Amino acid sequence: MPGIGVPVHHVLDVIQLAYDPGVKPTEGGLPGLSVLKKVVGGINLFAIIASVGALAVSAAVWAWGHHSGGHQAEATGKKGVLVSAGAALLLGAANGIVTFFSALGTQVS
């Protein structure tokens, strides 16, 4: 035991926690990466198209609720417009958001 009262095995545990494993993302590391990129891109496009449909339906519900005096339908339509617009924003920015946070994560030491 060192003179400061900390057992040696605890000091070694802390040193092991600080070890850098050296793992970094690499292009072409696994087979099928290009196929996976195409699949994810297709899912993203499908979700954007679904957001357009949801926006159109929500806008119609909002207009119908406003003109018919249905306050609940109007509120639901407004909420649907905001949610579908927000979803489209996030889907369109998904690549940039992930890139930003991935780059930010590489700066953590």
DSSP 50: H
The answer to the question of residue 14 being in a domain is: no
The answer to the question of residue 33 being in a domain is: yes
Q: Given a cut of 70, is residue 2 above it in pLDDT?
A: no
pLDDT on residue 72:
96
The answer to the question of residue 65 being in a domain is: yes
Distance CA 90, CA 97 (A): 8
Q: Which domain covers residue 98, as residue numbers?
A: 27-106
What's the pLDDT tens digit per position in 4-41? 666 666 665 555 566 667 778 788 778 888 899 999 99
Distance CA 90, CA 85 (A): 9
Q: How many domains does the chain have?
A: 1
pTM, entire model: 0.71
The answer to the question of residue 80 being in a domain is: yes
Please give the residue that has the higher pLDDT: either 108 or 68: 68
The answer to the question of residue 58 being in a domain is: yes
